[in-house]
A and B are shown apart, each in its own frame.
Chain A
Amino acid sequence: MADAQEESAVQGKNAEPLEFPSLAWFERLAALMNDNRARQEKLGYVDCVAGFSVTGTRALAVQVTFDEFEATDVRVTGETDSNRADFTLEAELETWQAMIESIAAGNGRPALDQTLNRLSHMGTPLHLLSDDPLRRDMYFRFNQSLQEFFNASAAFTTSFPTS
């Protein structure tokens, strides 16, 4: 897995960088997940709609639908989509940026203090939002898959808006 990721990281880094936050950035993660079905089959089913929200001046909210072993839908959260997501992870751009940079520096493995659970467990800086405890618990049921969804960002270069 690490070798494959490293190889694709090298290939990916020759391509145009993708800006975060953007729909295209999440679409690339979805494509990488779908291209690596063998890994997803090892991790197991992931069935949820996850919201990812960047707050602040470059605010963007995206929803990714996971079904079985694939990310089947990626969209900017619309007005009628508020209840679609089982849970949403929300943070300032700086938090997302630090996590994504850590993943890139670790060739697909974030530093100990930059995992999704590490950032969200105390409720800050990454907020886990959901109205329904059962749907909120999906974040935990599929945590490894969600972590690896983001870890795949090491395969390409991410650019961030300059302040």
Chain B
Amino acid sequence: MSKPAASPTDLSPLPPEHAVPEESLESYELAFGQQMTTWAEILNDNGERLQAGRFSLHWMETDKANWGRRAKPSSRGMTYADTNRVEPYGQMPEKAEWLNFAPRGSVRDPYAQRMPVLSAYDVVDRNELWAENVITLYEEAKARQWNATRDIPWDELKSLPEDLEKATCQLCTFLTEVEFVAGDFPAKWLYRIPQDFLEVKSFLATQLMDEARHQEVFRKRAIAGGGLLHASPGFEWALKAIMEAPSHTMGTFLLNLLGEGLVLSIFRSGEMIAKTHVDKEIFRLCLQDEARHVSYGVMELKNHLDNVPDRDAALEDMHRFADVGEMVILTAFTEAALIEPLAILLGGGVNRIEQGLEQAGALWGNFIEEYLGRCRRAGFDRSERCGIPTQAPWLQ
């Protein structure tokens, strides 16, 4: 009879694991233990009051509150627009000064001295994030959510000829890759925006959800159809350029207006060339979400340019940024891992890739026209300076 396997009690204890670097934890202890001690004063006050059996009830005072001005719902329910109609809840500062979590419109002045300051909140200018359509887009985004697990007729998915299936899966691999950045970019800025701009934060949260769903649905489509195929360095550099944009407005221009404008064209093309109703449904649902993001990008840039103190200087800065941005986006959108599967799907097979490239060339022209139109709508005329050729490189 063989010796029984060692029981868990026979094993030596594992060495202690430090999930958090020691110096980070020490630094945190020091900060909240010795440097920032206001919370300890508050705790002490609270302790004394509770021990004495006293109630404060200061929070029932309404002298400095906007108490009794009740918001009324519209036909859609209670929207931000409905609550913002009640003075002063809709008053948004030009520059946010409350760099903590105190809600806009609450009684917060008396507590200013005891409030913490979050240094992460450093996008404080309304001109760097507001768009006049942001509340509408937020409501629309919530109302038009869908579920990549249940709302796609996955059971209708049929195998395609190998070249078309590979092209579809490569296109989905590309879209999975780029949709990650479209979620990470708003996430990167979301936490830097103070609470006074709650409407923008709310909209960015919906964009995050949209992009999570997009990478989910394209990942699922690829794996259901054969598998994920090739990642691409050309995509990655464009995504890095978006992530590292020097300001929220510039990054939003590059991601939402230019990048997502192009992806919107790809989604529309995807719907057009879809070989199954499953793919039709995926692309149609995604293109709706993408168009919302594009609309925010256009109006955010417009708001920025309309309100900066020196419009000419801001325009020149945007042009300098776009000069670079257009080139890196062009790098991504000339990658073989994108153009070739698209051409195969447009042409109808690998043996018709040349014809597909011609069609892709026509779509390229349409896209550049749309891009320049959206720039003009935002008050940013790129027609004389656009670095992306109006004709597809393979047709020149």
Contact = CB atoms under 8 A, between A and B. Distances in A.
Interface of A: 43-45, 47, 68, 109, 112, 115, 117-118, 121-123, 132-134, 137-138, 140-144, 147
Contacts of B145: 44
B295 interface: yes
A112 B140 contact: no
A118 B291 CA distance: 17
Interface residues of B, number: 39
B75 interface: yes
Contacts of B136: 47
Contact of B299 (A118, A134, A142): A134
A26 B272 CA distance: 25
B298 interface: yes
Contact of A133 (B271, B272, B374): B374
A134 B280 contact: no
B51 to A, nearest CB: 54
B275 interface: yes
Contacts, number: 78
Contacts of A141: 140, 288, 291-292, 295
A133 B377 CA distance: 7
A136 B140 CA distance: 16
Contacts of A115: 271, 280, 284
Contact of B295 (A109, A117, A137): A137
A140 B287 contact: yes
Contact of A109 (B144, B268, B277, B292): B277
Interface stretch (B24-32, B92-100, B118-126, B362-370): B362-370
Contacts of A133: 298, 370, 373-374, 376-377
Interface string B17-45: 00000000000000000000000000000
Given A144-B285, A144-B288, A45 B277 contact: no
